Amino acid sequence: MNYLTRAPSAPMRLIEIGQAARLLGVTARTLRHYQDRGLVRSHRLARNVRGYDLGTLEQLKAIVALRAAGLPISAIRTILTLRDEPDAQALALRAALAEALSEQQAQIQRLTALAGCMDGDGDALPQTIAGLRAACAEPTSP
């Protein structure tokens, strides 16, 4: 008989959650959150510590970068599920980035308007902000 033999596979290299967090510049809690939200899976190491293989670490790098760009987890999940369809994934990524850019531009406009109120006298604050300032200045009763 002619059997195909498999070369022994190398042991999988796993990186503990704390080390992965340091490499990615996030907290271990953030990585657990991504796993809880279904974006990645981990392996369990000794002492029940989560560990990530190198492929998952690359996926986490992408997730961290997309979150830093302002994409919500739901959009990232959609993008990740399309990994086997590169054209659809690129289209989803472009749409999510355009939405994030639009939201950030709107935020810049709101901040610019608020900063404009601060130019000149402090009495020109919008009512909601001025009301908060007044409420904070009042002593609280026991």
> Per residue in 35-53, pLDDT tens?
999 999 998 888 888 999 9
Q: Tell whether pTM > 0.75.
A: no
More reliable by pLDDT, 12 or 126: 12
Q: In order of start, what are the domains of the chain with their CATH numbers?
A: 14-103 (1.10.1660.10)
Token code pair at residue 73: 């987890």
Alpha helices by DSSP H, listed for the chain, are 17-24, 28-36, 54-68, 73-81, 86-118, 127-137
**pLDDT for the residue 142:** 56
CA distance linking residue 19 with residue 104, whole number of Å? 31
